[in-house]
Amino acid sequence: MILGSVVVLLWCCCGVVVWCVPWCADLGTDFVLFFFFFFFFFFSMQVRAINDVGCSKWSHTSTPFYTLTEAPSVPSPPALNGPAGSTSIKIKFLPPAGTKSDHLHHLDYEFKILYTTLEDVEPSRNEMLSKWHKIHSLSDEYYNKHIPTCTINNILPGASFVLKARAKSSHGKGGWGLQSEVLTSTAAPPAPAPIPIIQFVEERSIGVKWDRPPCRGDPITMYELSHMVAGKSWRTMGNWKTELRTSASFYCVPNLLPSSSHSFRVRAYNSFGWGEFGVQTASIRTQATVPAPPSPPKLLGWDGESIVIGWSHTARDSLDNGKGNGSPILTYQIQRLEHRDWEDVGESRPKDLHFKYLEKTDKYKDIANARKFRVRAVNGCGESDWSRGSELFYCNAIFPEVVVVVDEGKKSKKRGRKKKRTSSKK
């Protein structure tokens, strides 16, 4: 059972450190301490528990508690402490007037920034030119407590701005000091470019436009458009490739496959180097188009009455995205060359890839017909180009054999070849 607790107070006054026990109580973990504090004193505390067996060890010393009776006054306006960088500057300033030297290292500082000159394409430009913004990225370097210095980071390159500072202590925050003189950061490579704008999408081309990013103090002289063919999964994703480098802000990307997906991104260049790539576009899919042309037909069979032809259908390398180019094949159309003119002779289902054509001939008339065919595919976007014409198919009529039998001077005709019967006796 805890009988009581002891709180030890560490006073610091005029450089003399004194430990004392101001008050004891058996109130568990709740304490109310009453002290008469002196002006500009600070103190720390330790605590331990007591029961009927004895006392525990002392706890760790607490952080200092300051007894300043009023908030700090304002510091001087910040000034440069060395050459300015492109995204950071080092500044120095004087601490609040009237602060005793023993208390300078107990002070902390905050800063605000107001931009005075920004490019017209800078995001949130109007807000940054009209409102003070608190600086969150800085490196404290208060080694010299009489002339504190610090480094302010994440400043826009090639911009002009002013700063304010204020001091704060455990008692409160002081007022903001006067603003600094106009400071300017040095130039740097351009900012990341905005997301490219897709102007149009066709079967084999995409028009891409982009806006100028902030040049960061030096004019932009060139852009790089990067292009990636996007697959349906990470396994089929392509790599980013440079499409072109140009001083223009528009480009029609040619020679794309129909019904294929693409992404684009842009970066800018000035005399300080290449900027970072901006955000890429969402995946853009080109439109489907007519099918790839089939191969020339070939003769598969001829039975004297009908011709059977067949063909294959595959995509052309670098020209087609599959044989249908993004739209399913609906049918195949077949034509025959007749007296120097092509005439329609029929259609075939997509899965067949062959066609049977019935010849209109007299089987008992000796004929020799030369036949030539071509084929094209049809999908929802239209008809493909005709295939190249097939080789000439010579479709000779097929007749039963005529047999002529000669017996004892009498001739009798039978269907078949002419044959003279001879006796086996010599």
Give CA–CA dist 71/167, Å, rounded.
8
Taking CA atoms, 11 is separated from 8, 15, 27, 39, 103, in Å, by: 10, 10, 24, 12, 15
Is residue 42 a contact partner of residue 102, using CB atoms and an 8 Å limit?
A: no
**Strand 418-420 relative to strand 403-407, pairing:** parallel
3-state secondary structure the chain: CEEEEEEEEEEEECCEEEEEEEEEECCCCCCCCCCCCCCCCEEEEEEEEEECCCECCCCCCCCCEECCCCCCCCCCCCEECCCCCCCCEEEECCCCCCCCHHHHHHCEEEEEEEEEECCCCCCCHHHHHHCCEECCCEEEECCCCCCCEEEECCCCCCCEEEEEEEEEECCEECCCCCCCCCEECCCCCCCCCCCCEEEEECCCCEEEECCCCCCCCCCCCEEEEEEEEECCCHHHCCCCEEEEEECCCEEEECCCCCCCEEEEEEEEEECCEECCCCCCCCCEECCCCCCCCCCCCEEEEECCCEEEEECCCCCCCCCCCCCCCCCCEEEEEEEEEECCEEEEEEEECCCCCEEEEECCCCCCCCCEEEECEEEEEEECCEECCCCCCCCCEEEECCCCCCEEEEECCEEEEECCCEEECCCCCC
Written as tens digits, the pLDDT of the chain (426 aa) is 544 444 444 444 433 344 444 444 444 444 444 444 444 445 677 888 888 888 888 888 876 665 545 678 889 999 999 899 999 999 998 888 777 776 777 788 899 999 999 999 998 999 999 999 999 888 776 556 678 888 999 999 999 999 999 988 877 888 899 999 999 999 999 999 999 999 999 999 999 999 999 999 999 999 999 999 987 666 556 789 999 999 999 999 999 999 999 999 999 999 999 999 999 999 999 999 999 999 999 988 887 778 899 999 999 888 999 999 999 999 999 999 877 889 999 999 988 888 888 776 555 444 446 788 999 999 999 999 999 998 888 766 554 444 444 444 444 444 444 444 444 443
Q: What residue type is assigned to position 41 of the chain?
A: F
Phi, psi of 104 (to 5 degrees): -65, -35
Phi, psi of 106 (to 5 degrees): -90, 0
